[in-house]
Amino acid sequence: MATEPQRVAMVSVHTSPLEQPGTGDAGGMNVYIAESAKQLAARGIEVDIFTRRTTADVPVDVDLVPGVRVRHVTAGPYEGLSKEDLPGQLCAFSAGTMHAGLSLPEDHYDVVHSHYWLSGQVGWLAADRWRVALVHSMHTMARVKNGHLAEGDSPEPPGREIGEVQVVEAADRLVANTEDEARELIELYAAQPAKVSIVPPGVDLGVFAPGDRAKARAGLGLDPAADLLLFVGRIQPLKAPDVLLRAAHRLVAQDPARRRTLQVAVLGGPSGSGLSHPHQLEDLAVELGIGDLVRFVKPVARPVLADWYRAADLVVMPSHSESFGLVAIEAQACGTPVVAAAVGGLPTAVGDGGVLVPTHDPADWADAIGGLLDHPLRRTVLSRKAVRHAAGFGWEATADRLLEVYRRALDDHTHSPIDEGQGLAGVPRAVIP
């Protein structure tokens, strides 16, 4: 009989589930951690989420919902550190996590579930010290991102690749969003196939659901007759919002009459390498001569985000790399077709509820978008398929699959290589925090 977990320690070093997704380092991973933790709590499992404290105003412990506690760990200055600075704070974060655990019984947690490679380094140590199983979710991988860099974007450093290799080898179980991600773990990181489990992310079908488009547009102050293209996400080269703007420019150049109806909304904030030029996208819109057609919107709460999805004719995702693409599922749950790049997990997320574009050439994107704008009946068919496709991705299903991963990790758990005093994958132990 499988061992049932009772208490789970999640680790999310660089971003908190309390933060607003869409800007800085907050994105789909925040949503994943928060929603999966809530579902686990609904099943009677206690979840503690360890994350770095970034402001003195937040309490040390915050209850997200009954059964889910966010525990803030001090590691470095509260503000002014980017994600790239955090490897230097992993020892401090690990020490803070261990200190928090001193007040708990030795066998308090059953599983440590780390998210992203920084958390994997801490989770590896925590799981070893607490003598429990380690489950790890990569969310993104350096070797995948470096193989799909946007023009002018900076590659992920070798130190991240080394850290990822270490965590892959140390984890009892690895969680992949899609079959493609599972294959990448095996082929690029030499993960043992038996350790990899596929658990697709979910969507809150109570919040993201079809609704009245006219009402949504009225509430958001949008033209009821516009052809509205929507981008949702962090503004950085990896997400390629510039491709959408260049495609919109091309559509107007090909047919000047579109200028009367075409509108583009970019909902999100600067992130990653986009922080070095926070107004670059606005400048590009002006340079392309479509500044009057583009509206920039700061990240919004989920009920308002759902209205933006309902208001849009198409949601556009030109990303160079996506481990899954929660935006696609959220949009489709609201009945809005998605035009997405054929990369990473997007083919799985989009399914038959949208169109995939095989390149990042703005001409190809203009053709795909224009073809759908000019054929409302085709959009209607895609809308129905989108809702049906998204219905299979509720967070309840995600939590059920995670529970099965935890059970297997508990049953198969053995001591990590730390116990043997050895480095991983030829990396000396001296580099392991």
Residues placed in the known binding site for Mg(2+): 309-310, 312, 336
> Is residue 227 classed exposed, middle or buried when 0-12, 13-18 and 19+ CB atoms within 10 A define those classes?
buried
Average pLDDT of the chain is 90
Mention every residue, 6+ apart, whose C-beta is less than 8 A from residue 347. 180, 356
Residues placed in the known binding site: 14, 20-21, 25-30, 83, 116, 140, 160, 234, 239, 300, 309-310, 312, 322, 330, 336
Domains 7-202+395-416 and 213-391 share a fold: yes
pLDDT in tens, 373-418: 999 999 999 999 999 999 999 999 999 999 999 999 999 885 555 5
Q: State which amino acid sits at residue 251.
A: L
**Distance, CA of 406 to CA of 419 (rounded, Å):** 22
What is the CATH code for 213-391? 3.40.50.2000
Residues placed in the known binding site for 1D-myo-inositol 3-phosphate: 14, 25-30, 83, 116, 140, 160
Residues placed in the known binding site for UDP-N-acetyl-alpha-D-glucosamine: 20-21, 28, 234, 239, 300, 322, 330
Q: How confident is the model at residue 1 (pLDDT cuts 50, 70, 90)?
A: low
**Distance, CA of 126 to CA of 191 (rounded, Å):** 21
pLDDT in tens, 176-219: 999 999 999 999 999 999 999 999 999 999 999 999 999 999 99
What is the CATH code for 7-202+395-416? 3.40.50.2000
Residues 5-28, mean pLDDT to the nearest whole number:
84
**Distance, CA of 238 to CA of 63 (rounded, Å):** 33
- pLDDT of 149 > 90? The answer is no
pLDDT for 21 equals 73
pTM of the predicted structure, to 2 decimals: 0.87
Q: State which amino acid sits at residue 100.
A: A
Nearest to 175 by CA among 191, 153, 199, 192: 199
Sketch the domain layout of the chain as residue ranges.
7-202+395-416, 213-391
pLDDT in tens, 78-130: 887 888 889 999 999 999 999 888 788 878 999 999 999 999 999 999 999 99
